[in-house]
Chains A and B, each alone.
Chain A
Amino acid sequence: MGRYRNVSILAAAIFVQVLGLAVQVKRSSENHSSRLIRVWAVSAVTPLEKAIVRIQTGTSDLWHNYVYLRGVRQENRALKDQIEQLQLQQVRLEQDASQAHRLQALLGFKEQFIAKTLAAQVIGSSGSEQSRSVFIDKGSHDGIQQDMPVISASGIVGKVTAVFKGTSEVLLINDQQSGVGVILEQSRVIGVLHGKASGALVIDKVMADEQVKPGEKILTSGGDLIFPKGLLVGTVTEAEKGPEFLQIAVKPATALNRLEEVLVITKKEERQPSVPAPAMRVADILSRRLPFVPDKPVTPASLPAKNTVATPAAQQQQGSVHPASAEPVGLKAATTPQVTPTAVQVPRISVNPALSPAEPKRETLLTPSSKPAATVTPVMPGTKPAPKPKPVADPAQPPIGDPGGAPQ
């Protein structure tokens, strides 16, 4: 018996471990069955990691904030220039966003907003190429819970899979067991992103007839109920056609092998997008898109005809313009005016009450391509339509169809 003692002990050790593995595989929640040993291991390793990361961060801050200040003035100037550029860009984007929000509100869309985030430092990894996960220095004491999404300034990172007192484990999106609902920005193809054994990111099960081009951005779709919709995931590097499905290779937006600081989304809110203006009716939205008719020059000869302009809204009221063509009427009227040849006696109607007082009478046509707005002008019998009306009463007012008046 003594001869086989070593082999017996080896067999026993292997048997116990295989049995333990089998129990964990059998139970879906293996983290609970092996919770204690994981807590011990994490408690043994992470304090040292935390201490080193803090010392490293402190030293780095000391160096960058107090010692190494060369070039700060020049950098400050460049940043100020950048801020000015961004402010200009922001104005334009705000206009687009407000319009999008209004339309979303009309359609009853619900969005998930990031209500609260918690910054955390990455202190360690799993140390295995087969398990792509990292540890962060925030845990249950800081309000972290399982399945919370983790992002960085560049894009998404992963989700919390295990929470300890002062530490949490984050499963990266390039792990094989990870899955993220994504949507391609241009082609609007929806799929599931997951990692391969090599650590590469792929989207598969996308039908082969979809048109996906390299360079296209990939965003979260919100379909996984983990990540809020619209977060940057990465870009398409290759779309290889198979017999049935596309194999889309993805380059992550975040450098997943060089993570330092991340944000844990601790609170999400699901609400309808806020509308800056009071609730608007569809008719109001449409009326904003209708063309503008300028004032005519105030001359004694034209006084009787002062209020004879035919605004599209008025035309609709009078039945001179087909109601069904309400939205594209501006484009249609610009090419083939269908206004009745009789002058319509209508008071001037404020087409859009939501217009700002600074521009009470100017109305531009919003077209998807932001082309110059078309206008409708009254056509008297026996006369030709004026080629291009020029407002005279208000010299400060830009000419009709000035693209500068329309959102770019």
Chain B
Amino acid sequence: MALTYTSREQIEVYRFSLPVAILVPLFAIFLQAFLPLRFPFFSIFDLPLLVVIFFAMARRNPVTGLLTGAAIGLLQDSLTHQPIGLYGIAKTFVGYGASSLGVKLDVESIGTRLIVTPVFYVVHEVIYFTVARAMVRLNLHWSWSHELGSAVANAVLGVLLFALMDRLKQRA
């Protein structure tokens, strides 16, 4: 028997309807592209990443999680002028990790979400910067203070956003 930190009741696997599975990531990408023009501070958030984490943890299936991460990441990449795959690779890892963790942890509590989200944000940024520097030779500027601040901001927004998106879940 596998040792987990969740009770049988907590290992509930959820699914999402097709419109939700398509429209929510699209809407997140739209907001990510649209809001920073009106509110420049919004660029510190990564809404597509939060959606990837939420879907992956709710479905608790690593394959679905990594595919969701790859699809959202590639879509996000295609709105930039940089080579496609930077966000794709980073979000693939995050999707896989979040769904794997979702099996082990009670990811529906606020405390867990507050801890897990910034960790995944930093992991995402580290992978992104590594690939961007190693493969694409982008001279990106890494600032720990900026990244940690963004991680905390994303965690706070994530808690609010996850509470909203919990209503879209359906029991499998």
Contacts and interface: CB of A to CB of B under 8 A. Distances in A.
B51 interface: no
Interface stretch (A13-21, A65-73, A334-342): A13-21
B151 interface: no
Contacts of B87: 128
B140 A45 contact: no
Contact of B76 (A128, A135, A198, A259): A128
B164 to A, nearest CB: 19
A45 B138 CA distance: 26
Given A42-B79, A130-B140, A21 B37 contact: no
Given A21-B85, A122-B37, A125-B36, A45 B135 contact: no
B33 interface: yes
A78 interface: no
B52 interface: no
Secondary structure type dominating chain B contacts: helix
Given A49-B33, A130-B132, A20 B26 contact: no
Interface string B66-103: 11001000111011111111111100110010001000
Interface of A: 5-6, 9-10, 13-14, 17-18, 20-22, 24-25, 30-31, 34, 37-38, 40-42, 44-45, 48-49, 52, 122-131, 133-135, 161-162, 169, 171, 175-177, 196-198, 257-260
7 contacts: A6-B62, A18-B85, A45-B26, A124-B33, A126-B80, A162-B81, A198-B141
B111 interface: no
Interface residues of B, number: 46
A126 B81 contact: yes
B36 A133 contact: no
A25 B83 contact: yes
B79 A197 contact: no
A371 to B, nearest CB: 50
A177 B81 contact: yes
B136 to A, nearest CB: 6
A197 B80 CA distance: 15
A49 B27 CA distance: 11
A39 B37 CA distance: 21
Contact of A131 (B48, B82, B96): B82
